[in-house]
């Protein structure tokens, strides 16, 4: 492992040229420079491939080839990584500030395995803060965004993301880490800005189905029951989205996120 590389930033892309440029620019603008960028592209046809090759000297490594989904692509990045820590970015996601990595490494990170912070979500309707919460024995879904969590690479290299799950493999990975008593730490920092409308956002019911499969391993009937109720609630939300006009949805979201709205 190259000791000069503290963190591997793995960028996954597919036909997202404008967003891809935005993400790469954000990483390269970091004041902390002991990082590497690894790009995994699923075979873009919109000019992203050309952009990757044009800037290949900026990347530690890159792959352009078809994959079997986002987690397969992320696993490819893990295999190529050389940093002690790994963080994933999707095209369009950015670090919150130019000093995000610098501030992260000013924290006490040595004694922990998984360190996570908060996220700003940008949707077409509004921008709001999503505060991370603890991963504990009552956790039913991801309590933080994968763009706002740093994981020791040794953990990901020993156990890649499972390809059994298409939408919740990151949850399964962190669930497994918690079960194995790995050390989680929340830091009071906004780490990333992300776009809404990602894979999980578009497939909420499938996320719930996979989370139920993962949670069922606990053999905890109460947690399973609560997750079923959340799934039913999501059905109602999905239905309302189909009948309510956009301006009404925006009002509802503003009420829901009133304490964390970003101007």
What would the pLDDT profile of 164-180 be if each residue is shown by its tens digit? 999 999 999 999 999 99
Q: Which helix (H) or strand (E) holds 204?
A: helix 204-215
Q: pLDDT, tens digit, for every residue of 236-262?
A: 988 888 898 988 888 888 888 888 888
**Helix boundaries (H) for 29-147:** 48-54, 70-80, 100-104
Cα(161)–Cα(33) distance, integer angstroms: 27
Q: What is the 3-state composition of the chain as percent helix, strand, coil, each rounded to the nearest 5?
A: 40, 20, 35
Measured CA to CA, the distance from residue 102 to residue 239 in angstroms comes to 43
Q: What is the pLDDT of residues 201-222, one digit of tens each?
A: 778 889 999 999 999 887 778 8
pLDDT of res. 1: 45
Residues 120 and 41: beta-carbon distance below 8 Å: no
H or E stretch covering 85: strand 85-90
Of 46-50, 101-105, 227-231, 258-262, the one with minimum mean pLDDT is 258-262
pLDDT, one tens digit per residue, over 48-60 is 999 999 999 999 9
């Amino acid at each position: 492992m190259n000791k000069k590389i503290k963190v591997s930033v793995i960028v996954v892309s597919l036909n997202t040229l404008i967003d891809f440029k935005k993400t790469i620019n954000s990483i390269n603008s970091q004041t902390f420079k002991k990082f590497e960028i690894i790009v995994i592209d699923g075979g873009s046809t919109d000019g992203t491939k050309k952009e990757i090759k044009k800037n290949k000297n900026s990347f530690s490594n890159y792959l352009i080839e078809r994959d079997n989904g986002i987690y397969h692509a992320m696993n490819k990045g893990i295999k190529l990584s050389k940093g002690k820590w790994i963080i994933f970015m999707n095209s369009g996601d950015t670090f919150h500030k130019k000093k995000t990595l610098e501030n992260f490494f000013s924290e006490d990170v040595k004694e922990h395995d998984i360190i996570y912070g908060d996220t700003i979500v940008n949707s077409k309707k509004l921008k709001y803060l999503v505060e991370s919460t603890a991963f504990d024995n009552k956790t039913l879904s991801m309590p933080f965004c994968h763009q706002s969590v740093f994981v020791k690479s040794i953990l990901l290299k020993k156990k890649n993301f499972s390809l059994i799950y298409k939408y919740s493999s990151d949850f399964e990975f962190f669930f497994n880490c918690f079960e194995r008593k790995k050390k989680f730490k929340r830091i009071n920092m906004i780490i990333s800005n992300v776009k809404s409308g990602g894979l999980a956002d578009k497939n909420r019911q499938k996320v719930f189905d996979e989370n139920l499969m993962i949670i069922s391993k606990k053999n905890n009937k109460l947690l399973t029951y609560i997750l079923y109720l959340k799934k039913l609630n999501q059905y109602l939300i999905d239905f309302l989205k189909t009948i309510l006009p956009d301006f009404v949805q925006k009002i509802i979201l503003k009420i829901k996120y009133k304490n964390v709205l970003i101007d």
